[in-house]
Amino acid sequence: MSYITVAKKYTPKAVKQLVARFRKLFVYYDYDSSQYWKKRASDPDQAAVLWTNQAYNSLYRQDQQTTLEPYFKQLAPQATVLDIGCGIGVVARMITQINPNLKVDAVDFPEMIAVAKTKNAETQINYIACEAENYYREQQPYAVILSSGCYSAIRDIKKLEQALQYASQMLAKDGLLIMIDPFHRWNYLARAKYGSQDVINYFASRGLVLEKKSGILFWPFREWLANSKHTGETLRKRYLLGEKLLAVLGKHFWADYKILVFRKG
Ligand SMILES: C[S@@+](CC[C@H](N)C(=O)[O-])C[C@H]1O[C@@H](n2cnc3c(N)ncnc32)[C@H](O)[C@@H]1O
């Protein structure tokens, strides 16, 4: 490798990123995640809520839809569901496409809701600007509450547990709480430093029964691909290989996004 090739590969930005990754192994950065997400609302398309590689985001969305379909398809017409931390409304809209007879309450910070209303408006979706830890609806419990990456994004654990408590209270009897969330305790992958076992313990003490424990996005490949420049067939093949490895190695343990489904008894 010539000096020029090395210099091109290891630009100051690339070196900075590498150092940041290495530090993440040992140091957990705590910061106000609300401000972080409010700022991200203006990022392009789904980079506002997922990663910079839009093709990777689309691949993830397809798998997410496959995961969610059975739960939303079977609901009675006019059932009301909650998409907590709905971001720019991609999943809220996905739910209306899976089952057009549902009503979706979709909650997030005002900055995200403003984008959602322009990009993913549907008559069945009621967008609500509110923090998850302050959102509580007393009348008419929800048939399903979904957190697609929201709860794990609340780094303040007190606020996170407040949001979890409201979820358990707002859920109808026999209702489902579905989480597709990167719950981790390991510094390197943790957003909120809160593992799936913490979530399971939290809800076990509140009478919710764990029905499914799985995962999606093999984390080493997610790290490799989600913010990369890979595209097209190369990206698709690598993504699929990652998910195959996940199935072989253990769907929950090796997943970045944990899937947890609870039923309220
Ligand atoms: C990873 S993004 C996922 C967005 C969306 N659910 C999706 O799948 O496209 C996490 C979302 O949670 C929202 N969020 C984080 N903390 C929140 C809080 N305290 N209250 C409400 N929303 C919050 C962020 O604004 C962001 O939209």
**196-221, pLDDT tens digit by residue?**
999 999 999 999 999 999 999 999 99
Cα 154 from Cα 141, distance rounded (Å): 23
Q: Which amino acid is at 78?
A: Q
| Residue 1 pLDDT > 80 | no
pLDDT in the model for residue 117: 98
Q: Over the stretch 73-97, which tens digit does the pLDDT of each residue have?
A: 999 999 999 999 999 999 999 999 9
Helix axes of 110-119 and 33-40: crossing angle, nearest 10 degrees = 30
Question: Is 2.60.40.10 the CATH classification of the domain at 32-264?
Answer: no
pLDDT in the model for residue 14: 78
Q: Which amino acid is at 234?
A: T
Cα 153 from Cα 135, distance rounded (Å): 16
| Residue 112's pLDDT band (cuts 50, 70, 90) | very high
pLDDT in the model for residue 222: 98
Domain residue limits, the chain: 32-264
- Averaged pLDDT for residues 233-254: 97
pLDDT in the model for residue 263: 98
Angle in degrees, CA 105, 108, 239, rounded to 5: 95
Element spanning 9, H or E: helix 3-9
| Residue 27 pLDDT > 80 | no
Q: Name the residue of 49, 107, 147 to mutate for ligand 1: max ligand atoms within 8 A of Cβ.
A: 49
Q: Which of 23-27, 122-126, 153-157 has the lowest mean pLDDT?
A: 23-27
How far is the centre of ligand 1, averaged over its atoms, from the C-alpha of 34 (Å)?
Answer: 9
| Core vs surface per residue 166-189: b (16+ CB within 10 A) or e | bbbebbeeebbbbbbbbbbeeeee
* Average pLDDT value over all residues in the chain: 94
Q: Which atom of ligand 1 is nearest to the CA of 154?
A: 16
| Residue 5's pLDDT band (cuts 50, 70, 90) | low
Q: By alpha-carbon position, which residue is closest to atom 26 of ligand 1?
A: 87
- Averaged pLDDT for residues 247-261: 97
How far is the centre of ligand 1, averaged over its atoms, from the C-alpha of 159 (Å)?
Answer: 13
Q: By alpha-carbon position, which residue is closest to atom 10 of ligand 1?
A: 150
| Residue 101 pLDDT > 80 | yes
| Residue 9's pLDDT band (cuts 50, 70, 90) | low
- Long-range (24+ apart) CB contacts under 8 A made by 202-205 are 202/161, 202/164, 203/164, 203/168, 203/177, 203/262
What values do phi and psi take at 147, rounded to 5? -115, 110
Q: Which residues pair with 242 in a beta bridge?
A: none
Q: Which amino acid is at 123?
A: T
- Averaged pLDDT for residues 176-182: 98
pLDDT in the model for residue 205: 93
Helix axes of 90-98 and 54-73: crossing angle, nearest 10 degrees = 40
DSSP 175: E
Beta strands in the chain (DSSP E): 80-84, 103-108, 125-129, 142-148, 171-181, 208-218, 255-264
How far is the centre of ligand 1, averaged over its atoms, from the C-alpha of 63 (Å)?
Answer: 19
Q: Which atom of ligand 1 is nearest to the CA of 46?
A: 9
pTM above 0.85, yes or no: yes
| First-last CA distance in the chain | 62
Q: Over the stretch 53-65, which tens digit does the pLDDT of each residue have?
A: 999 999 999 999 9
- Bigger pLDDT: 14 vs 206: 206
Distances, alpha carbon 147 to alpha carbons 17, 21, 29, 238, in Å: 29, 27, 23, 27
Tokens matching residue 96: 């209306």
Q: By alpha-carbon position, which residue is closest to atom 25 of ligand 1?
A: 37
Contact 190, 30 (CB under 8 A): no
- Pairing mode of beta strands 125-129, 103-108: parallel
| Residue 20's pLDDT band (cuts 50, 70, 90) | confident
